[in-house]
Amino acid sequence: MNAPVWNPAVEFMEREALERLQLANLRMTVAQALKTPFYQRRLAEVGLTGPEDLASLRDLHHLPYTTKDDLREAYPYGLLAVDREQAVRLHTSSGTTGMPTVIYHTRRDLDGWTELVARCIAATGATARDVFQNMTNYGLFTGGLGLHYGAERVGMLVIPASSGNTSRQIQLMKNFGVTVVHATPSYLLHLHSALAAEGVSLDQLRLQKAFIGAEPHSEQTRRKIEELFRIKAYNSYGLSEMNGPGVAFECLHQTGLHLWEDAYLLEIIDPRRLQPCAEEETGEIVLTTLQRQATPLLRYRTRDLSHLVSGHCPCGRSHRRLARIKGRSDDMLIINGVNLFPSQIEEVLMKTPEVSTNYLIQIEKRGAMDRLAVKTEIDARLFTGNPRALDDLRERISELLRSAILVKPVVELHEPGSLPVSEGKAKRVVDLRPAF
Ligand code: DLL
């Protein structure tokens, strides 16, 4: 063992024992799911009458998938598997892309979630000696309360700052000697660009670590955050349907995100054929809850794309690792017939030294053709009145993008602070093409 750890018995469990535990928990989950009319119907359709029909983990493939649309249809109470009195909290999705979805928790569910988040935090080496500022929204969004209770369980001094009010965030960090923060990567980049205006230098802060997640970001963005703040930034993956944060997290070694396999059964499938992907092949993450009472979910299709990292992590944990999320199967862009992901554009931008911290991708229809514009803020010092230098930079970025995504975009260079900023998840793509 070469790592700080919260629950060694589970985190270093031998694979065989872990799989036995998964099977027992899967059976419990199916029994629990059968308490909802939704799953009674779904499981009857595939001829499954009870948990005893699952002889091994391989039988998972007989279970039906669950989709976001299923959750929407079951809204508000259709997937509640316990008596209303046993549920003590609910979280809903924002509903910005349609009807909201809801997840209920019993006391035991909340305790289990808190333990998972505590595990994640401890795996990065954070301890009760740390002062932790949680910069994500407290409320229905799971990043606020999820991290909050996990951090308290670790024993950190928690500052529940919530999102927004950048000037206050910076003052809190400075006044309380904050050592660890939690935020979306886009917000942290924004916060860095606000430090100077607040008259605060890095030397006045005690920051050592950031937990970043809730939105796709590239390795280059992580490095940029690490360099700008001179800290370590750990990737955190989760989704409201699987509690929220605490599903998968990087440990000290930053070699992929350990997915807690005692709590979630992981599959990676080809989203078209609905068949398992080969080892290390990129596909859609499908998750089954293994410990939840109030809202058990079977084979939930996350739409998130990733692949498994092969080999063993030096930390010694037996829980497998997901590679950084590449994007969502539904945020793939098709530009004049070429498929690409916004993350490919971000990767190029963030390794271009002149580019600062904010960018926006805009797509429009021009006649029959799609027009891709990449708007990016650059270092203020480059606006020297020499248009030639800016033209060269614009052309260089455009060419770098063309070789990465096979489409040559129109690149626009903007001064820092001129593109819209979000306090939570960044909205990086504006698609103005008419919907058919
Ligand atoms: O974003 C939960 C969360 C809060 C995770 C705080 C991490 C930190 P939702 O609002 O339901 O829940 O959004 C979930 O966000 O399906 C992914 O598409 C995306 N996402 C979350 N974490 C990452 C990440 C929370 N580390 C959706 N990298 C997921 C890339 C991420 N995408």
Which domains does the chain carry?
Answer: 1-329 (3.40.50.12780), 332-431 (3.30.300.30)
363 close to 431: Cβ distance less than 8 angstroms: yes
The pLDDT assigned to 93 comes to 83
Identify the pLDDT of residue 143.
96
CA 331 to the chain's CA centroid: 14
Between the alpha carbon of residue 424 and those of residues 164, 203, 376, the distances in Å are 8, 26, 19
Residue from 93, 215, 324 whose mutation best tests the ligand 1 pocket (most atoms within 8 A of CB): 215
> DSSP assignment, residue 278?
P
Q: In what order do the strands lie in the sheet containing 410-414? A: 410-414, 369-378, 355-366, 429-431
Ligand 1 pocket, 102 CB below 6 A? no
Q: How far is the CA of 97 from the centre of ligand 1 (A)?
A: 15
The response to whether residue 214 sits with its C-beta less than 6 Å from ligand 1 reads yes
* Ligand 1 touching residue 236 (CB < 6 A): yes
Which spans in 12-106 are helix H?
15-33, 37-45, 68-74
Please give the pLDDT value at position 368: 84
Q: Which residue lies with its CA nearest to atom 21 of ligand 1?
A: 214
Q: How far is the CA of 230 from the centre of ligand 1 (A)?
A: 24
The torsion angles phi and psi of 84, rounded to 5 degrees, stand at -50, -40
Rounded distance from Cα 286 to ligand 1 centre (Å): 14
Cα 391 to middle of ligand 1, angstroms:
37
State the alpha helices, DSSP H only, in 34-67: 37-45
User: How many CB atoms are closer than 10 A to CB 7?
Assistant: 15
Ligand 1: centre distance to CA 237 (Å): 5
Residue 357's SS3 state is strand
Q: Is the minimum distance from the CB of 342 to ligand 1 under 6 angstroms?
A: no
**Residue 343 CB–ligand 1 contact under 6 Å:** no
**Pocket flag, ligand 1, residue 120 (CB < 6 Å):** no
Q: What is the pTM of this model?
A: 0.92
Ligand 1 pocket, mutate which of 237, 259, 305, 427 (most atoms under 8 A from CB)? 237
> Measured from the CB, is residue 245 less than 6 Å from ligand 1?
yes
**What phi and psi, each to the nearest 5 degrees, are found at residue 290?**
-115, -5
- Ligand 1 pocket check for 179: Cβ under 6 Å: no
- What pLDDT score does 158 carry? 98
**The pLDDT value given to residue 2:** 55
pLDDT of residue 97: 58
Q: 56: CA distance to ligand 1 center in Å?
A: 31
In angstroms, what is the span from residue 184 Cα to ligand 1's centroid? 9
Average pLDDT, 10 consecutive residues per value, the chain (436 residues): 85 98 98 97 96 96 96 95 98 75 97 98 98 96 97 98 96 98 94 94 98 94 96 97 98 98 98 93 97 98 96 97 92 88 92 92 92 96 90 96 93 94 89 84
Q: Is 211 helix (H, G, I), strand (E, B) or coil?
A: strand
Residue 304, both tokens: 């998130």
| Atom number in ligand 1 closest to CA 147 | 6
Cα-to-centroid distance, 50 and ligand 1 (Å): 33
Predicted local distance difference test score (pLDDT) of residue 434: 87
Element spanning 167, H or E: helix 166-176
Distance in Å, CA 158 to ligand 1 centroid: 22
